[in-house]
Chain A
């Protein structure tokens, strides 16, 4: 054995010891979290996919494999189709309004100095407030005779509708509440985006002869906000797909299924009628939409959509 090898071997052993020590530490530190990820995330995801292929009912002793039966029943069911359609309408109303108004509020608030903190606080308040309690407040505020909205309309001579019991209106009423609740959230995301725009870009634009506010917005602000905007759009869409609280407490999907949405269908099938297998299939549809939107987000972020 030459003297040169021994230290190298020692070093090798030292590395091995260090690797082993790190591996043991990692096991101790990441082990509990990994176990919980398995129990509360991975296993349930596998279960929900499998359950959707069975006729399992909550509390039943046995279950039978039924293939795609739940899915074919679902897509043939008027209630489910209505639910899916309503959810898509809800999302397509909330997303443009919430994102557009959020952007508008951010631009206007950041355009001046005065009352900036006040406006930011006020617009953000609905994001913080417990939605279920605010849904109850809105229900009262939208009461056809005693509510704030129709009383205010009456004072200017307009007879307001029955916002929550008219089947042509109810879904849009809920979407309006969804917008009210989420504008502030999008606003602060846009504010963060605005603050990240380098000031010298505006100076450069001024040198190039860009003088009015609209042109500044068109040539600098909007292109620089591109990535943030796409991000906000996708996030708002994902959150809108999760609409549940307002529906559950205010309308129960009614009147006549006019405000039935995916999560409410899942909840009532699974936890009121105990048709677990069927509810699992509804969940899979919900999950497919959420994952598709998330994939879109990843794709956009990876491409770093940016027009500047």
Chain B
């Protein structure tokens, strides 16, 4: 929105530049999908071709599925991301409400800690958490993948900012009706905060579906691999040079989020930017 519309020349130039950029942005995806359809022999010819001469899509995808428990990896990813998000709402939403609407000793201190926490990436706390989980005997479990993210200072911060804008009258009315504070959180605040919760949910699912660092550290058995670990493992052990099969595996891992994104682009972009303001 830099003012008025462009002239025909400038308009055409805009498309030329943006299309060139779009080709670069998209080419790895196109290359991935097309290669996943090709037999190894065609990939090894080292010719720049687009569509395969002989379609090997079914065998490539079937190979992935039979050689590693890809379904299990996807299921693990779904279990872990869904559990993380459910716990995050359960733990952080009440805390955000308390910070926004209740008066209690230590509120300022707690909020200061939340603000500090916003700056700390998981990489900085990974070693101590790993040692803690080692002693608790829960490395290599779903719990190890989920628990460190049950707390999201970012979720607290974001929901608190949202609750600050909710009028006190709404809460007072509920109190007069005899609704308990916990009832207010789940029956009054949660419904009004749905847009913020959705945005946070998208952010959370994207971040944890794609996370590689923490699962790499916390998980050692194949049965518990999340999709990123699964595809990295597959590259290392089974399909390192079978490029068609490897690209099929990559396509499978990327698909769920990309499909969701294409179906609800606006929400995704809003969710990720709204929440992406985190460092």
Contact = CB atoms under 8 A, between A and B. Distances in A.
A188 B48 contact: no
Contact of A126 (B25, B46, B217): B25
A40 B151 contact: yes
A123 B22 contact: yes
B69 to A, nearest CB: 17
Interface residues of B, number: 99
Contacts, number: 301
Nearest to A196: B1
Contact of A128 (B22, B151, B258): B258
Contact of B210 (A23, A132, A152, A267): A132
Contacts of A120: 265, 269
Interface in A93-130: 101, 105, 107-115, 117-130
Interface stretch (B54-62, B126-134, B191-199): B126-134
B86 interface: no
B2 A290 contact: no
B181 A242 contact: no
A65 interface: no
Contacts of B110: 30, 34
A136 B15 contact: no
Most interface-central of B3, B104, B228 (chain A CB within 10 A): B3
A119 B261 CA distance: 14
B70 interface: no
A88 interface: no
A110 B17 CA distance: 13
Contacts of B137: none
A238 to B, nearest CB: 4
Given A33-B95, A188-B269, A294-B279, A270 B258 contact: no
B28 A137 contact: yes
Nearest to A147: B31
A238 B124 CA distance: 13
Interface residues of A, number: 112
Interface stretch (A2-10, A72-80, A166-174, A276-284): A276-284
B119 A290 contact: yes
B269 A124 contact: yes
B144 interface: no
Interface string B109-130: 0100110010111011111111
A308 interface: no
A181 B266 CA distance: 19
Contacts of A128: 206, 257-258, 261, 268, 272
B138 interface: no
A1 interface: no
Most interface-central of B21, B181, B250, B279 (chain A CB within 10 A): B279
Contacts of B276: 185, 188-189, 235
B52 interface: no
A133 B125 contact: no
A142 B213 CA distance: 23
A137 B247 contact: yes
A23 B105 contact: yes
A37 B235 contact: no
A22 B102 contact: yes
Interface string B179-199: 011100100000000000000
The 6 A-B residue pairs with the shortest CB-CB distance, nearest first, are A33-B95, A25-B181, A26-B104, A44-B128, A44-B125, A36-B151
Given A127-B272, A213-B2, A213-B3, 10 more contacts: A23-B104, A25-B98, A43-B128, A128-B206, A128-B268, A140-B35, A140-B247, A141-B28, A244-B213, A276-B127
Interface of B: 1-6, 10-11, 14-15, 17-18, 21-22, 24-29, 31-32, 35, 43-44, 46-48, 91-92, 94-95, 97-99, 102-105, 107, 110, 113-114, 117, 119-121, 123-132, 134, 147-148, 150-151, 153, 156, 180-182, 185, 206, 209-210, 212-213, 216-217, 227-228, 231-232, 235, 243, 246-247, 249-250, 253-254, 257-258, 261-262, 265, 268-269, 272-273, 276-277, 279
16 contacts: A23-B104, A26-B102, A28-B181, A30-B110, A37-B114, A37-B151, A40-B125, A40-B129, A45-B124, A108-B14, A122-B25, A152-B48, A235-B279, A271-B217, A290-B119, A290-B279
